[in-house]
Structure 1
């Protein structure tokens, strides 16, 4: 009986090792570069320099059936206090449906502007890079474990934090638009935040970003 249990235990360990290797070598790289070409994943984008020494990054991309000017109009009105995030609204917009039309009052963006990242408005992204119809980079700096924002330029950096950028970059491709989304993040203490990245945040971003791509395409097609 003890030998049988030992064999089962060894088989379980071996299976777990194979699964981890498969995820690390095959699935994870594909997840972090979903839809992007090798060139898109390898190149640098505006805003990359905002998080020097990043511990984590991803580059995901899709082609949308509209020129950059039309795609930009949807991106420009993102925010919980504006048009939403076009992803899973129950998770990131308090259950309020994201906008399904272009709203003029939400089209104005300025560098340094805050876009609420939660319905309460207690956390936000800051517009860090703004090149209309080309690049929109949002920056977030969050204390851990409270989830409250902090000013990276207004005092000492907390001992536990996450600083990240979420960049949207548009390139014309004929009459369509190539939308490349680049994320970069740096967090501390890494001994705690790295397991959370691997087990939760990378998967969460993958799921939410794919949903956003899908919903943007649906809105653009409907608007057309």
Structure 2
């Protein structure tokens, strides 16, 4: 009889424990569901609202959809970003800053500290250097040092595909067709100002590569806008002098 009483009590305890744990399980499930819903909503907002604006930050809708020099080089591009800025200086005053782009030349006029945290050894020039003003089709523009541990030599530079003074500079990777084209396009606004557009087109096939490209877009836009502002500041200062 005592055994039966003990067994009944144990069963009662298990039932009570189960009843107490059920609300906790439901609470955890509810939190997971809410987190999933918030994540899904956040991703949807980013994909439909934030990302499209990010990919054309500083550019008008017509600029972002217009055909630009270099587009035809990369017909299989899966990602495209077009950013822009107005510069209170004519195109001929901006062009010299573009032709000195390069890790081992005038830098990229962006956030030097961030770039060098990645070991890129970039030093942005604040002056025009005559030795860097000769740039021709076929020349290479380094993105990273040749001995950078995380960058293969082929990935460490871009080649000049087009150098149209005061109008367009187009860089590309060496593969054919190129997996990346980077175009800098100048368009006059009036006699003393112009628009500078930067278009990046990337062809990525693998799902992992595409996910990585999307993840890097905010950082890439940050650096691109920093570069545009850096070029504007230097060109306007030089033009005013």
Please indicate the TM-score interval, normalised by the length of the shorter structure: 0.7 to 0.9
Structure with greater proportional strand content: 1
The secondary structure found in structure 2 opposite 1:187 is coil
Residue 132 of structure 1 aligns with which residue?
Answer: 165
Q: Does 1:185 align with 2:213?
A: no
1:82 to 101, 105, 111: 105
Structure 1 CA distance for aligned equivalents of residues 229 and 85 of structure 2: 9
Structure 1 residues 95-114: aligned runs within 5 Å: 95-114=121-140
Structure 1 residues 18-167: aligned runs within 5 Å: 18-92=41-115, 94-120=120-146, 122=153, 123-141=156-174, 151-152=175-176, 163-167=179-183
TM-score (norm: length of structure 1): 0.86
The secondary structure found in structure 1 opposite 2:204 is strand
The secondary structure found in structure 1 opposite 2:135 is coil
Residue 237 of structure 2 aligns with which residue?
Answer: 222
Give ranges in structure 2 of 5+ residues lacking alignment: 1-23, 148-152
Structure 2 CA distance for aligned equivalents of residues 117 and 3 of structure 1: 53
The secondary structure found in structure 1 opposite 2:173 is strand
For the aligned residues, what is the CA RMSD? 1.6
- For these two proteins, the number of residue pairs brought into alignment is 205
Give ranges in structure 1 of 5+ residues lacking alignment: 142-150, 154-161
Which deviates further from its counterpart, 54-63 or 211-220?
211-220
Structure with greater proportional helix content: 2
CA contact (8 A) 2:121 2:145 kept: no
Q: What's the CA shift for 1:52?
A: 1.2
TM-score (norm: length of structure 2): 0.80
CA contact (8 A) 1:85 1:92 kept: no
Structure 1 runs of 4+ with >6 Å offset:
none
Alpha-carbon spacing, 1:131–1:217, altered in 2? closer, same or farther (3 Å): same
Structure of greater Rg: 2
Structure 2 CA distance for aligned equivalents of residues 81 and 50 of structure 1: 26
CA contact (8 A) 2:103 2:121 kept: no
Q: What's the CA shift for 1:35?
A: 1.0
Residue 148 of structure 1 aligns with which residue?
Answer: none
